[in-house]
């Protein structure tokens, strides 16, 4: 949340996770996104991210990644 104070922290965490999965598979982030979702399971599991603010902040999430 400190790295992206104005953005959606859950979205940032998902993008980081996908970047790491792509790097581990020897490809870049966008190459991983080009793989159809059903076939992507070989590279990462389904992920849900929930960020709870103890300071009462509320973020509006787009519900999509990149």
pLDDT at 4: 62
Q: Name the one residue in this structure whose structure tokens are 């104070």.
A: 5
3-state SS, one letter per residue, for the chain: CCCCCCCCHHHHHHHHHHHHHHHHCCCCHHHHHHCCCCHHHHCCCCCCCCCCCCCCCCCCCCCCCC
Which pTM does this prediction carry?
0.66
pLDDT at 51: 77
In the chain, where the domains are located: 7-65
CA nearest 49: which of 1, 6, 7, 11? 11
CB atoms within 10 A of CB 42: 8
Tens of pLDDT, residues 7-60: 778 888 888 888 998 999 999 999 998 988 788 878 777 777 777 777 777 766
């Amino acid at each position: 949340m400190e790295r992206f104070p104005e953005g959606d922290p859950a979205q940032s965490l998902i993008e980081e996770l996908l970047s790491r999965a792509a790097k581990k598979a020897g490809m870049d982030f966008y190459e991983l996104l080009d793989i159809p979702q059903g076939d992507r399971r070989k590279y990462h599991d389904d992920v849900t991210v929930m960020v709870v603010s103890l300071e009462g902040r509320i973020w509006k999430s787009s519900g999509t990644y990149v």
